[in-house]
Structure formats: structure tokens, C-alpha cells
Amino acid sequence: MPAPLTSPSRPLTAVHLVTLGCARNEVDSEELAARLEDGGFQLVDDPEDADAVMVNTCGFVEAAKKDSVDTLLQAADLKASGRPQAVVAVGCLAERYGSELAESLPEADAVLGFDDYADVAGRLQHILAGGRHETHVPRDRRTLLPLAPAQRRAAARGTAIPGVPTQTSPVTPLPDGLAPASGPRAYRRRLNGSPYAPLKIASGCDRRCAFCAIPAFRGAYVSRTPAEVVDEARWLVEQGVREVMLVSENTSSYGKDLGDIRLLESLLADLGAVDGLERVRVSYLQPAEMRPGLVEVMTSLPHVAPYFDLSFQHASPGVLRRMRRFGDPDSFLGLIESIRKAAPHAGIRSNVIAGFPGETEADVDILSQFLVDARLDAVGVFGYSDEDGTEAAGLDRQTDEDEIEARRAALADLADELVSQRAEDRIGERVRVLVEEVAGQGEATETVGRAAHQGPEVDGSVTLDLGHAGVVGTFVDAVVTETDGADLRAVA
């Protein structure tokens, strides 16, 4: 029997959980937190108070991977000089690289894949006791389920899909604060007191975008049932949540494996019956999958934010074809026009990629003109980088790294200017703001929140002039008076 990492006089049961990456990863961290707590661990906010530090990594692009590795190394430094006895990697980077990551990063005591999540507490107990974890060899998780979407639900039983329960869990009650145990149970423990929470409705992706590796390590598309989503929304409201954002790798595909590609429309209507849930936001929509009925529902139901997170990625038809995507400026602008015709103040955001292989100066001009014409509320501009195992990494006409950065910087400057102009258009507009933070005291108190057109963390915020401190979790009707980039100032 291997010796424990140390020989403490107390049990090793405190764990600090670090979350990197997107809102989907936030949901996965809350699943891990629930499973750890159910397995006897105590979650602590300070890594210096922890026996183990678990890092939920991101493996999407090069910058995110570097951030994940740096965070693991920082935890290892703390282990060398403080209380923590183990550093464990989980999440997308861990799943994507598995044994390769474990070999290249010996500072981490273990690298756990998605298949380890169901017994993550047991895995961590074993590691803290000095046991060695056998790291998985990466595989294409799309091969775990049938190619036909309709056959996946039954085949998914026993398959590990973070955030998507695929088999009935034991009916033993969970401790207070963990997600309820009705039907296939989604383990979840809130890690903060925010009045907003992401709510995962599906996992995986069936698209084959040339630049994206996500489907290979997240797997094929699997939807949760509407009843499961509504039940979890009710539980989130009990935890103080007033706004949920529906997340998945591709939300506009929701229901394709349940026999109804328009199931998102009815799910949005069903969520209106959840008492106390005042705002529902939808994220990660594919422009090619948008349909008039979905636009109508998202702009007409009072509890649904008229907010469209549309993944354009580019506007040049030639570049989009090489990306294995669809569209052109006219079709994209037509979609935007249909949204603003139904809801003139709707929020529309997107991400674009600069420097994709084969992109010409003329393509950049097309993308630039599209951004000018689209008048988006928020734009993320990313420079292209090769991703292991993707088709784009092997394409010809690769763009020089310096040129990629030059194009990215120019597009980012243009996007910043256009987003500022779009925000200025909102001066005098009435907005409904969810209060998320109250800081300071007396006259220095600041009340900050988000309007319906602003997604969490990435789309700006609203500072409210109330004359008094606001209350976190309440909604305030206000009128926009000033702007600073995408950020607004408004008076109640």
C-alpha cells in the first residue's frame, strides 16, 4: 500500500475548486462540487485552506490552454510551500489530452477525465491517500454514441456526459443545497450567491467546423429533456437565482435527438411557468439553424430576454466554406434585420476569427464591412491558431502569425468603436437591470447589474444611479444616460 502524501492527524477532506473557461464549465464545476460534497469533502474558498486543489481546465484555444497550465503550476507551487497535498486537473484540457498532459505536467498529482466524474470523491480520496491514478488515453468521444441522433438517448445510459444525467441515480437524499433527486438526477451545488446562473440544456456538438476540436472531446450532441431542465430551473430559483442562461455547445440544435428540432421554442414557453424565474437568456446559437419561429418566441415571451448570441465567425462566403460553415453578409444581415424588426432594442453579439487559412485582404474587407453594417452590441475578435486534430491545421495557405495578429488588432479596434457607437444609440432607452453587485458605502456606493441585451461577464454592465444602495437579485427599471464603451450608466 503506497504511503499517504503526508501523515496528518486530521482527515484530508478540504478541497478548493478553480473554474476556468466558459459558462458550460461553470455548470460542470457545480456538478463536481456536489459530488465532492456528497462524498464527504468540504468545499473551501481559499486554496491555502485546502488539502487538495482541483482545477477545472479549459482546452478550447491556445491562450485558454496556457491559462489552465499556468493555474495548475501555481497550485503546485502552493502545494510545495503550504497545506495542499494534491493538485488535480479536470475539465476539457484534462479530457482532451489525458495521459499526454499527465506526462508533460508531473506537477499535477492526477489528471481526471469525464469518465471519472461519477466517482470524483472516491478518486480524490484515493489520490490523497497516496494512490496512483491511471490517466485515460484520449479518444474521440463522438464514437461513444450512435451517429443517428434519435438513437442516442437510450445508448447514453452509463456514458459520462458532464451536466447531462443519462441514468437514474440512487434515490438517497442529497444534503441541503444540492440539486434535487427526481428522475435522472443532475448533481449540482451552487458555488456563489449570484442571482444569475447558467443552465445546461445539452452537451456535445454534431457540427464539423474546420477550426474546432470541441466535438472530439465533448462528444456527440445529447439533449436533456424539457422536464429535467424545468426541474433544475425551479431548484435554481430556490437557491436565489432570478435569471438563467441556457447553455450548450449549440443551443439551436436542442431537441434534435429527442425527435423535435423546435423543442427549444416550447422549452422557453415552459420556463415561463417557473415561479420566481424572471429572465431566461439563450446562448450559443448557430446562424444557419435560426428559424422564424425561434426568433418570434425569443422576441415575444416576456420572460425571455431578446438576446441573440449568434456564432457568425466570419462573413466572407469563401472563408466560411473553408471553415465548413454556411452564410454570407446578405443572409446574416437579413437575420439581424428580422430580429430588430421584431424587437428594435434586442441585444445581438457574436465572435469572429481573423487570419483563418486562405483569408485574403478582400475577405477581411468583407468582414469589416459586415461588422459596420451589423451594428452588434458585443463582438469578440480572435486570432486564428492551429488546434490539434482539426481539419484547419492541415489546410494550405496558412497565414503568418504576425499578419494574424495585425488583422486581429485592426478588427478588434473597429469592433470596439462600433460597439461604443451601438451603446451610445441606447442613451434615453429604458432598460430593466438585474442588480448583481453593490460595492462601497455611503455616497461611494455603486450598484451594478445587467440589462436584457447584456450577457454575463462579456457584454458590459449597467451602473445604476439610485440615490441609495440597490439590492442584489432585484430588477430595476432605469433610463440610460451615459456610456463608456459597452458599459452603460442609467438612472432609475
**Binding-site sequence positions for [4Fe-4S] cluster:** 22, 58, 92, 205, 209, 212
The position carrying cell 491511471 is 134
Grid cell for residue 314: 466570419
Q: How many Å apart are CA 125 and CA 476, to the nearest integer?
A: 46
| Binding site per annotation, positions | 22, 58, 92, 205, 209, 212
The position carrying cell 440615490 is 467
The position carrying cell 455616497 is 443
Grid cell for residue 4: 499517504
In angstroms, how far is CA 443 from the centroid of its own chain? 36
Q: Which of 325, 352, 289, 309 is nearest to 209 (CA)?
A: 325
* Total Cβ atoms within 10 A of residue 88: 26
Grid cell for residue 375: 451594428
The position carrying cell 415561463 is 272
Grid cell for residue 107: 506537477
Q: Which of 383, 368, 370, 488 is nearest to 431 (CA)?
A: 488
β-bridge mates for residue 338, sequence order: none
The order of strands in the sheet holding 86-90 is 42-43, 14-19, 52-57, 86-90, 110-111
At residue 90, the 3 state secondary structure works out as strand
Q: Which of 369, 359, 379 is nearest to 460 (CA)?
A: 379
48 contact partners, CB below 8 Å, separation of at least 6: 78, 82, 83, 84
Residue type, 15: V
